[in-house]
Amino acid sequence: MSNFTTFRTLATIGRNTLGRFQYCAFSYPNQYGVNRLYSQSTTTQTDGTMEDYKNAKSVYDFTVKDSQGADVSLEKYRGKVLLIVNIASQCGLTKGNYAELTELSQKYADKDFKILSFPCNQFGGQMPEGDGEEMVCHLRSAKAEVGDVFAKIKVNGDDAEPLYKYLKHKQGGILGDSIKWNFSKFLVNKDGQPVDRYAPTTSPKSIVKDIDKLLEA
């Protein structure tokens, strides 16, 4: 099977060209997340609308949506160290975080480590791209290998993704539990327990020592 997947899609490209469309046709390397964006997991562990997050025993109790709306049980990541990030395409932090998250993905490609990226448009409307093909076009253009990419979510408020309610409950912030901005990061150990939280301005590469410690545990 080829390591490339070809897509042709009509997508909105960038905020400054809102309303203008262009075809995005390309052979897309699988490492940029195409297979992961389009994975159709049939495994279910806990309803993705789970609200009783305070009673969850680990992240494995949650089910989220992939970019096509299919359920993905986080049970599939059992035994792996996870870095969970809310990403955005038009933030001042995007370029640096995309580059360093890509480095981490490549550095730990053969290790029990995975980045889980959740697009979020709650902060300044800086993730205007839609799920599916439009997100694929964006990641391809940015050359961003940011791990497994899921459907767009909210991370704050009553409508926040239950997984994020759980993460904030387990690892509160310095000035309250709410997510402050794009690229907030949570580190999860091999048992599915959130063990650390990092500010949006924290460099992904600066987390390497913490990742290594969990991998060696």
The Cα 64–Cα 70 span in angstroms is: 8
Whole-angstrom CA distances from 5 to 43, 77, 147 are 24, 24, 17
Give the H/E segment covering residue 210: helix 208-216
- From the candidates 24, 91, 120, 137, which is the catalytic residue? 91
Look at residues 82, 41, 47, 81 and name the one whose alpha carbon lies nearest to residue 61: 47
With CA atoms as reference, report the closest residue to 60 among 119, 140, 116.
Answer: 116
Tell me which residue of 93, 81, 85, 150 sits closest to 124, measured CA to CA.
Answer: 93
Token code pair at residue 213: 């410690």
Task: Give the Cα-Cα-Cα angle 45, 49, 43 (nearest 5 degrees).
Answer: 25
Element counts in the chain: helices (H) and strands (E): 5, 9
- Active-site residue 91, yes or no? yes
Catalytic residue IDs: 91
